[in-house]
Amino acid sequence: MEEQKTMLKIFSQADIESFKPEMKIGLLATINQDGLPHLTLISTLQASTPTELFWGQFAEGLSKHYIRENPRTGFLIMTLDKNLWRGKARFTRTACEGKEYDILNNLPLFRYNSYFGVHTVYYMDLVEQHGREALPMGRVVQASIKTIIAKTMAGKENDEKILNLFTIKLINKIDNLKFLAYIDGDGYPFIIPVIQAQTAGNERVIFSSSAYTDDLNAVPQGSSVALFGMSLEMQSVLLRGKYRGIRSIGGISCGEMGVNWVYSPMPPKAEQIYPPTKLDPVTDF
Protein backbone atom coordinates (compact mmCIF):
# COMPACT_ATOMS: atom_id res chain seq x y z
CA MET A 1 0.00 0.00 0.00
CA GLU A 2 1.43 3.37 -1.00
CA GLU A 3 1.30 6.35 1.33
CA GLN A 4 -1.42 8.92 0.72
CA LYS A 5 -0.03 12.03 -0.91
CA THR A 6 0.45 15.25 0.96
CA MET A 7 -0.99 18.32 -0.78
CA LEU A 8 0.90 21.53 -0.06
CA LYS A 9 0.61 25.06 -1.42
CA ILE A 10 4.10 26.23 -0.40
CA PHE A 11 7.71 25.05 -0.27
CA SER A 12 9.51 24.95 3.06
CA GLN A 13 12.87 26.67 3.46
CA ALA A 14 14.44 23.21 3.56
CA ASP A 15 12.82 22.43 0.19
CA ILE A 16 14.17 25.65 -1.32
CA GLU A 17 17.70 24.84 -0.12
CA SER A 18 17.46 21.31 -1.53
CA PHE A 19 16.68 22.66 -5.02
CA LYS A 20 19.77 24.89 -5.24
CA PRO A 21 22.52 22.40 -6.24
CA GLU A 22 23.29 22.15 -9.95
CA MET A 23 23.60 18.38 -9.79
CA LYS A 24 19.97 17.30 -9.75
CA ILE A 25 17.22 16.20 -12.11
CA GLY A 26 14.65 18.84 -13.00
CA LEU A 27 11.76 17.95 -15.30
CA LEU A 28 9.08 20.24 -16.70
CA ALA A 29 5.89 18.89 -18.28
CA THR A 30 4.11 21.25 -20.66
CA ILE A 31 1.20 20.97 -23.11
CA ASN A 32 1.70 21.37 -26.84
CA GLN A 33 -0.55 23.09 -29.36
CA ASP A 34 -2.54 19.87 -29.84
CA GLY A 35 -3.21 19.45 -26.13
CA LEU A 36 -0.64 16.65 -25.74
CA PRO A 37 1.91 16.31 -22.90
CA HIS A 38 5.57 17.19 -23.46
CA LEU A 39 8.51 16.56 -21.09
CA THR A 40 11.77 18.52 -20.90
CA LEU A 41 14.90 18.27 -18.77
CA ILE A 42 15.36 21.60 -16.95
CA SER A 43 18.36 21.22 -14.63
CA THR A 44 18.17 24.85 -13.42
CA LEU A 45 14.65 24.41 -12.00
CA GLN A 46 14.44 25.69 -8.40
CA ALA A 47 12.36 27.87 -6.09
CA SER A 48 12.83 31.60 -5.51
CA THR A 49 10.22 31.85 -2.73
CA PRO A 50 7.84 29.43 -0.96
CA THR A 51 5.28 30.01 -3.75
CA GLU A 52 7.37 30.63 -6.89
CA LEU A 53 9.69 28.54 -9.07
CA PHE A 54 12.13 29.72 -11.71
CA TRP A 55 14.43 28.26 -14.34
CA GLY A 56 16.74 29.53 -17.04
CA GLN A 57 16.74 29.24 -20.82
CA PHE A 58 20.09 28.89 -22.57
CA ALA A 59 18.96 26.86 -25.60
CA GLU A 60 15.91 26.81 -27.83
CA GLY A 61 13.35 24.05 -27.36
CA LEU A 62 9.70 23.21 -27.83
CA SER A 63 8.77 23.63 -24.16
CA LYS A 64 9.62 27.35 -24.27
CA HIS A 65 7.04 27.84 -27.01
CA TYR A 66 4.42 25.60 -25.41
CA ILE A 67 4.56 27.29 -21.99
CA ARG A 68 3.79 30.68 -23.54
CA GLU A 69 0.69 29.26 -25.23
CA ASN A 70 -0.51 27.20 -22.26
CA PRO A 71 0.88 28.23 -18.85
CA ARG A 72 -0.15 25.02 -17.04
CA THR A 73 2.84 22.85 -16.16
CA GLY A 74 3.86 19.90 -14.06
CA PHE A 75 7.29 19.59 -12.46
CA LEU A 76 9.58 17.06 -10.80
CA ILE A 77 12.83 17.73 -8.96
CA MET A 78 15.02 14.81 -7.86
CA THR A 79 18.18 15.36 -5.83
CA LEU A 80 21.28 13.16 -5.66
CA ASP A 81 20.10 11.60 -2.39
CA LYS A 82 17.09 10.17 -4.29
CA ASN A 83 14.53 12.51 -2.75
CA LEU A 84 12.02 14.04 -5.11
CA TRP A 85 9.33 16.69 -5.22
CA ARG A 86 6.41 16.67 -7.67
CA GLY A 87 3.67 19.14 -8.32
CA LYS A 88 1.98 21.63 -10.62
CA ALA A 89 2.76 25.25 -11.42
CA ARG A 90 1.53 28.06 -13.64
CA PHE A 91 3.88 30.09 -15.85
CA THR A 92 3.57 33.82 -15.19
CA ARG A 93 6.42 35.85 -16.68
CA THR A 94 9.99 36.04 -17.99
CA ALA A 95 12.92 38.32 -17.21
CA CYS A 96 16.29 39.03 -18.80
CA GLU A 97 17.84 40.58 -15.71
CA GLY A 98 17.47 40.57 -11.95
CA LYS A 99 18.38 38.46 -8.93
CA GLU A 100 17.49 35.05 -10.40
CA TYR A 101 19.17 35.93 -13.70
CA ASP A 102 22.40 36.65 -11.79
CA ILE A 103 22.06 33.49 -9.66
CA LEU A 104 21.81 31.25 -12.72
CA ASN A 105 24.58 32.91 -14.71
CA ASN A 106 26.94 32.65 -11.73
CA LEU A 107 26.55 28.88 -11.59
CA PRO A 108 29.83 27.21 -12.68
CA LEU A 109 28.18 25.68 -15.76
CA PHE A 110 27.41 29.14 -17.14
CA ARG A 111 29.93 31.41 -15.41
CA TYR A 112 32.91 29.68 -17.00
CA ASN A 113 31.26 28.88 -20.33
CA SER A 114 32.58 30.89 -23.25
CA TYR A 115 29.79 29.88 -25.62
CA PHE A 116 26.45 30.32 -23.90
CA GLY A 117 24.73 31.47 -20.73
CA VAL A 118 21.18 31.85 -19.48
CA HIS A 119 19.50 34.59 -21.51
CA THR A 120 15.92 34.35 -20.15
CA VAL A 121 14.51 33.42 -16.75
CA TYR A 122 11.03 31.85 -16.57
CA TYR A 123 8.89 32.22 -13.45
CA MET A 124 6.03 29.97 -12.34
CA ASP A 125 3.57 30.25 -9.47
CA LEU A 126 3.26 27.08 -7.41
CA VAL A 127 -0.20 25.52 -7.66
CA GLU A 128 0.45 22.44 -5.52
CA GLN A 129 3.26 20.13 -4.48
CA HIS A 130 3.28 16.81 -2.66
CA GLY A 131 6.19 17.32 -0.31
CA ARG A 132 9.49 15.49 -0.24
CA GLU A 133 9.23 11.84 -1.29
CA ALA A 134 12.00 9.28 -1.01
CA LEU A 135 12.34 7.31 -4.23
CA PRO A 136 11.03 3.86 -3.19
CA MET A 137 14.06 1.91 -4.38
CA GLY A 138 12.82 -1.44 -3.06
CA ARG A 139 9.59 -1.20 -5.04
CA VAL A 140 11.40 0.19 -8.08
CA VAL A 141 13.87 -2.73 -8.15
CA GLN A 142 11.03 -5.21 -7.69
CA ALA A 143 9.02 -3.53 -10.44
CA SER A 144 12.06 -3.57 -12.77
CA ILE A 145 12.48 -7.33 -12.33
CA LYS A 146 8.78 -7.92 -12.92
CA THR A 147 8.84 -5.75 -16.05
CA ILE A 148 11.78 -7.65 -17.52
CA ILE A 149 9.94 -10.94 -16.90
CA ALA A 150 6.71 -9.58 -18.41
CA LYS A 151 8.62 -8.32 -21.43
CA THR A 152 9.57 -11.89 -22.36
CA MET A 153 5.88 -12.81 -22.48
CA ALA A 154 4.51 -9.65 -24.11
CA GLY A 155 4.73 -10.94 -27.69
CA LYS A 156 4.96 -8.86 -30.85
CA GLU A 157 2.16 -6.74 -32.29
CA ASN A 158 3.58 -5.60 -35.63
CA ASP A 159 6.84 -5.10 -37.46
CA GLU A 160 6.68 -1.31 -37.76
CA LYS A 161 9.99 0.03 -36.49
CA ILE A 162 8.85 3.08 -34.54
CA LEU A 163 11.62 2.70 -31.95
CA ASN A 164 15.17 2.61 -33.33
CA LEU A 165 18.05 0.70 -31.75
CA PHE A 166 19.39 3.71 -29.84
CA THR A 167 15.99 4.39 -28.26
CA ILE A 168 15.43 0.73 -27.36
CA LYS A 169 18.84 0.49 -25.67
CA LEU A 170 18.34 3.73 -23.76
CA ILE A 171 14.90 2.76 -22.46
CA ASN A 172 15.91 -0.80 -21.62
CA LYS A 173 19.05 0.03 -19.62
CA ILE A 174 17.87 -0.80 -16.14
CA ASP A 175 19.61 2.07 -14.33
CA ASN A 176 18.51 4.80 -16.75
CA LEU A 177 15.82 7.18 -15.55
CA LYS A 178 12.36 7.18 -17.09
CA PHE A 179 9.35 9.36 -16.34
CA LEU A 180 5.75 9.38 -17.59
CA ALA A 181 3.55 12.48 -17.92
CA TYR A 182 -0.17 12.83 -18.59
CA ILE A 183 -2.67 15.66 -18.35
CA ASP A 184 -4.68 15.40 -15.15
CA GLY A 185 -8.39 16.16 -14.82
CA ASP A 186 -7.63 19.76 -13.79
CA GLY A 187 -5.81 20.43 -17.06
CA TYR A 188 -2.31 20.37 -15.53
CA PRO A 189 0.34 17.80 -16.49
CA PHE A 190 1.49 15.37 -13.80
CA ILE A 191 4.75 13.37 -13.76
CA ILE A 192 5.21 9.78 -12.55
CA PRO A 193 8.59 8.01 -12.22
CA VAL A 194 8.58 4.77 -14.26
CA ILE A 195 12.24 3.78 -13.92
CA GLN A 196 11.17 0.15 -14.40
CA ALA A 197 9.97 0.80 -17.98
CA GLN A 198 11.10 -1.49 -20.83
CA THR A 199 10.32 -1.64 -24.52
CA ALA A 200 8.19 -4.55 -25.74
CA GLY A 201 8.85 -4.79 -29.45
CA ASN A 202 9.23 -1.76 -31.70
CA GLU A 203 6.18 0.26 -30.69
CA ARG A 204 5.32 -0.46 -27.06
CA VAL A 205 6.67 0.43 -23.63
CA ILE A 206 5.52 -1.53 -20.56
CA PHE A 207 6.14 -1.02 -16.84
CA SER A 208 5.11 -3.07 -13.84
CA SER A 209 2.56 -1.19 -11.77
CA SER A 210 3.97 -2.45 -8.47
CA ALA A 211 5.83 0.89 -8.08
CA TYR A 212 3.77 4.10 -8.02
CA THR A 213 0.67 1.93 -8.21
CA ASP A 214 -1.84 4.60 -7.24
CA ASP A 215 -0.38 7.13 -9.65
CA LEU A 216 -0.47 4.70 -12.58
CA ASN A 217 -4.02 3.59 -11.76
CA ALA A 218 -5.07 7.26 -11.93
CA VAL A 219 -3.93 7.67 -15.57
CA PRO A 220 -7.07 7.39 -17.75
CA GLN A 221 -6.97 4.55 -20.25
CA GLY A 222 -6.75 5.94 -23.78
CA SER A 223 -5.21 9.23 -22.67
CA SER A 224 -2.14 10.73 -24.35
CA VAL A 225 1.07 10.25 -22.41
CA ALA A 226 4.71 11.25 -22.83
CA LEU A 227 7.70 9.24 -21.62
CA PHE A 228 11.11 10.83 -21.09
CA GLY A 229 14.13 8.54 -20.84
CA MET A 230 17.64 9.68 -19.95
CA SER A 231 21.02 8.27 -19.01
CA LEU A 232 23.43 9.76 -16.50
CA GLU A 233 25.62 10.61 -19.53
CA MET A 234 22.82 13.04 -20.49
CA GLN A 235 21.61 11.04 -23.47
CA SER A 236 17.84 11.36 -23.72
CA VAL A 237 14.77 10.60 -25.79
CA LEU A 238 11.11 11.61 -25.61
CA LEU A 239 8.27 9.30 -26.64
CA ARG A 240 4.57 10.03 -26.94
CA GLY A 241 1.56 7.80 -27.49
CA LYS A 242 -1.60 6.34 -26.00
CA TYR A 243 -1.87 4.83 -22.55
CA ARG A 244 -3.50 1.43 -22.86
CA GLY A 245 -4.15 1.05 -19.17
CA ILE A 246 -3.12 -1.64 -16.68
CA ARG A 247 -3.31 -5.24 -17.86
CA SER A 248 -1.90 -8.62 -16.91
CA ILE A 249 1.10 -9.84 -18.92
CA GLY A 250 2.03 -13.36 -17.86
CA GLY A 251 0.31 -12.76 -14.54
CA ILE A 252 2.21 -9.49 -13.94
CA SER A 253 0.20 -6.28 -13.69
CA CYS A 254 1.70 -3.77 -16.14
CA GLY A 255 0.94 -0.37 -17.54
CA GLU A 256 1.33 -0.18 -21.31
CA MET A 257 2.02 2.69 -23.68
CA GLY A 258 1.62 2.45 -27.45
CA VAL A 259 4.22 4.75 -29.04
CA ASN A 260 3.36 6.86 -32.08
CA TRP A 261 5.89 9.73 -31.84
CA VAL A 262 9.63 9.89 -31.04
CA TYR A 263 11.71 13.04 -30.47
CA SER A 264 15.41 13.56 -29.78
CA PRO A 265 15.90 16.55 -27.43
CA MET A 266 19.70 16.27 -27.48
CA PRO A 267 22.06 18.93 -28.84
CA PRO A 268 23.35 20.01 -31.24
CA LYS A 269 19.93 19.82 -32.89
CA ALA A 270 16.69 18.63 -31.33
CA GLU A 271 14.52 16.95 -33.92
CA GLN A 272 11.58 14.62 -34.52
CA ILE A 273 12.62 11.03 -35.24
CA TYR A 274 9.25 9.37 -35.85
CA PRO A 275 7.15 9.87 -37.88
CA PRO A 276 10.07 10.77 -40.17
CA THR A 277 9.97 14.33 -41.41
CA LYS A 278 10.30 15.22 -45.07
CA LEU A 279 13.67 16.59 -46.14
CA ASP A 280 13.29 19.45 -48.58
CA PRO A 281 16.21 20.26 -50.89
CA VAL A 282 17.87 23.66 -50.62
CA THR A 283 17.02 25.61 -53.77
CA ASP A 284 17.66 29.20 -52.70
CA PHE A 285 21.32 30.08 -52.09
What are the chain's domains? 13-133 (2.30.110.10), 136-272 (2.30.110.10)
CB 203 within 8 A of CB 259: yes
H or E element, residue 151: helix 137-151
Length of the chain: 285
**DSSP conformational letter for 63:** H
Half-sphere exposure (CA, 13 Å, Cβ side) for 185? 4
Q: Tell the burial category of 121 from Cβ atoms under 10 Å away from its Cβ (0-12, 13-18, 19+).
A: buried
What span, in angstroms and rounded, lies between the C-alpha atoms of 194 and 270? 23
The pLDDT tens digits along the chain (285 residues) read: 555 678 999 999 999 999 999 899 999 999 999 999 999 999 899 999 999 999 998 877 889 999 999 999 999 999 999 999 999 999 999 999 999 999 988 887 676 665 577 899 999 999 999 999 999 999 999 999 999 999 999 887 766 789 999 999 999 999 999 999 999 999 999 999 999 999 999 999 999 999 999 999 999 999 999 999 999 888 999 999 999 999 999 999 999 999 999 999 987 778 999 998 876 676 676
Cα 268–chain centre separation: 20
What span, in angstroms and rounded, lies between the C-alpha atoms of 73 and 89? 5
Question: Of 73, 85, 87, 91, which is closest to residue 188 (Cα–Cα)?
Answer: 73
Q: Could you give the 3-state DSSP secondary structure of residue 117? A: coil
Q: Could you give the 3-state DSSP secondary structure of residue 153? A: coil
